[in-house]
Amino acid sequence: MIKTHNFEVLKTARYSTLGVTENFERVWFVLHGYGQLSPFFIKKFQALDDGKTLVVAPEGLHRFYLSNSSGRVGASWMTKEARLDDISDYISFLDQLYQNLLNPFQRRSVQVNILGFSQGVATASRWVANQQVRLDNFVMWAGVFPPDMNFKQDIPYFNQLNTTIVLGDDDEYVKGDRLEEYKNELKEKQLSYKFISFKGKHDIDEETLVDLSKQFYK
């Protein structure tokens, strides 16, 4: 008889940073999409480097070759295989990273922003819904809530945050009827959020990012 077993092991996690690492006034945790790596993803946030901001890009715990068995490498937060273990593992990783970076500071003196991009939106949503980290602004960029969330339980918490959904008007994954369906779903779930659209595809738009950050910093 075949049996599959699980046990916990130590694993080295990776993250990249941009900007000041001491005496920062605000921090952005930015979670990448499927097949991206943190050192490259974080470059999309260079416009936030103003001498007062720390940008932190955690990397998914699964790395793989993007094509065949060599060449470029990407990372993923999870797959459908052993998904609950993956979710537990990355939430633990993100919680530890948050604590390690912010424990030396008075939390009230640092503005915390969490941004998920694409697959990173689902990851960030589950992390925030776990309610173990305190934050000021939550940004869902080019992605949607994962369907397995307990919306009845979680929506009231998200409504306490400043939640923003950002999407390109030509995003190949969420557009047209699918976008309207999603907005209707959120309306039914009574989520309070701000919606921002920009001209572009499935990517981080620098001008939109800077404009959004200025709204947070007021």
Any domain includes 120: yes
Q: How far apart are the first and last CA of the chain?
A: 62
- Strands of 103-173 (E only): list them: 111-117, 137-141, 162-168
Any domain includes 8: no
- Amino acid 93: pLDDT: 97
Q: Strands 26-31, 111-117: parallel, antiparallel or unpaired by DSSP?
A: parallel
- Amino acid 211: pLDDT: 96
Domain that residue 181 falls in:
15-217
Q: Side by side, which strands form the sheet with 162-168?
A: 15-19, 53-58, 26-31, 111-117, 137-141, 162-168, 194-198
Question: The domain that contains 90 carries what CATH number?
Answer: 3.40.50.1820
pLDDT digits (tens, 9 = 90+) for 30-51: 999 999 999 999 999 999 999 9
Q: What share of the chain is helix, strand, coil (3-state, %, to 5)?
A: 35, 25, 40
Whether pLDDT at 87 is above 70: yes
Reading the block at residue 124, the tokens are 């960030």
Q: Count up the domains in the chain and report the number.
A: 1
Any domain includes 7: no
